[in-house]
Amino acid sequence: MAIRKILLPLAGVASARSALATGLMIAKRRNAHLYALHVRTDTRDVAPLAGEGLSGAMIEDMMKATEREGKSEAQALEALFNDMAKDAGVTVGPPSPASAPSASAKFESVMGREEDITADEARLADLIVVPHPKSADDVASADALHAVLFDSGRPALIAPTAEQTSIGTRIAIGWNGTAESASAVGSALPWLREAEAVRILFSPEYQRQGPSAARLVGFLALHGVSADTAQFASIDRSVGAGLLGAASDFGADLLAMGAYSHSRLRQLILGGVTRHVLATAHLPVLMNR
C-alpha cells in the first residue's frame, strides 16, 4: 500500500517537535501529504465540567480563558509547523496530484472533541503519526492515540521521544501470531520491502494461538522481504521490556507490533506488552489493532 496521506494530530507544542520531525521525514521520503491537525477544546464543553456552585460569570470567564488558551496554542503550533516544514524542504500547501507526487504539508486548527475528530480524519489517512504519550504532559496525546487504535481501523506510528535521523532502515517485528500483529505486518510492508535488515522477535511468553515466527518468514519471502528470527526473554518479568531490549540489541529504528491483543481494561489492571511499550519505548513504533 502506498502512503499518500499522513495524519498528524497535535495536542500541544511540548509534544509536537519530535512528532512533526517524524511526519515530515516520512512525507518527504514517500512524496506524501502531511496533514497536521490541532483540535481546540469546544468552549461549550467547559460548562458541564464546571460543576455546581459556580456563577454564570465564573463559567463564562472559564470559557473565555479556554478559548484564549486554545488560540494561543494553535498559533504556537502553526509557527513551529511552518518553521520545521521549511527546514525540512517540504512545501506547505495542498496535496500534489497522483500523477506527479511530491511532499507537501498543511496545518489546520479546528474546534471540537479531539477523540471524535481524530478518529474521523484517521479513517481517510494511510498512516497516523501520533506524538509519544510520554513526550510531554499532554494527556490529549494519549487520547488521540487510543482514538486511532480503537476507532479508525488505521495504523498508528508513535513518534519517538526525541528526533531521529532515520526510520525504517532496520525493522523489528514483534510477532505473537495474533490478528493484531498480522495487521501490523501488513501495514509495515512498504517499509519492510525497503529495509536493510528485518528481524522477527518472538517469545513463548508472548506467543498466542496462531502462526509461528518461522511461518511469518516464509510469508514475508513471498513479498520479497528477507527476515531472520530471534527469541527474546522477559526482563524483570516484563515481556514488554524483553521485546524492547531485543529491538535495541538489533539496532532497530522501527518496531512494528500489534496493540492490545488482550483487552485494554485487562492491560490497565494487570499491565501488558502494549502498555509497557507505550510507556517506555524510545524508538518509533508502528501499531495496529
5-158: CATH topology is Rossmann fold (3.40.50)
What pTM, to 2 d.p., does this model score? 0.87
pLDDT tens digit sequence for 239-288: 999 999 999 999 999 999 998 865 544 444 334 888 889 888 999 999 98
Distance CA 56, CA 250 (A): 59
Distance CA 108, CA 74 (A): 9
Q: Where exactly are the structural domains of the chain?
A: 5-158, 170-288
Query: pLDDT at position 228, please?
Result: 98
Q: In this structure, are residues 286 and 180 in contact, taking their beta carbons and an 8 Å threshold?
A: no
Query: pLDDT at position 172, please?
Result: 98
Distance CA 2, CA 10 (A): 24
- CATH code, 170-288: 3.40.50.620
What is the grid cell recorded at 58? 465564573
Q: What's the DSSP call for residue 96?
A: P
Query: pLDDT at position 141, please?
Result: 58
- Residue 214, number of CB atoms within 10 A of its CB: 10
Q: Residues, the chain, total?
A: 289
Contacts 24+ apart (CB under 8 A), 145-149: 145/278, 146/115, 146/264, 147/114, 147/115, 147/116, 147/118, 147/119, 147/122, 148/9, 148/118, 148/119, 148/122, 149/259, 149/260, 149/287, 149/288, 149/289
> For the chain, which ranges sit under pLDDT 70?
1, 43-64, 66, 134-141, 261-271
Domains 5-158 and 170-288 fall in the same CATH topology:
yes
Query: pLDDT at position 112, please?
Result: 87
Query: pLDDT at position 168, please?
Result: 95
Query: pLDDT at position 266, please?
Result: 43
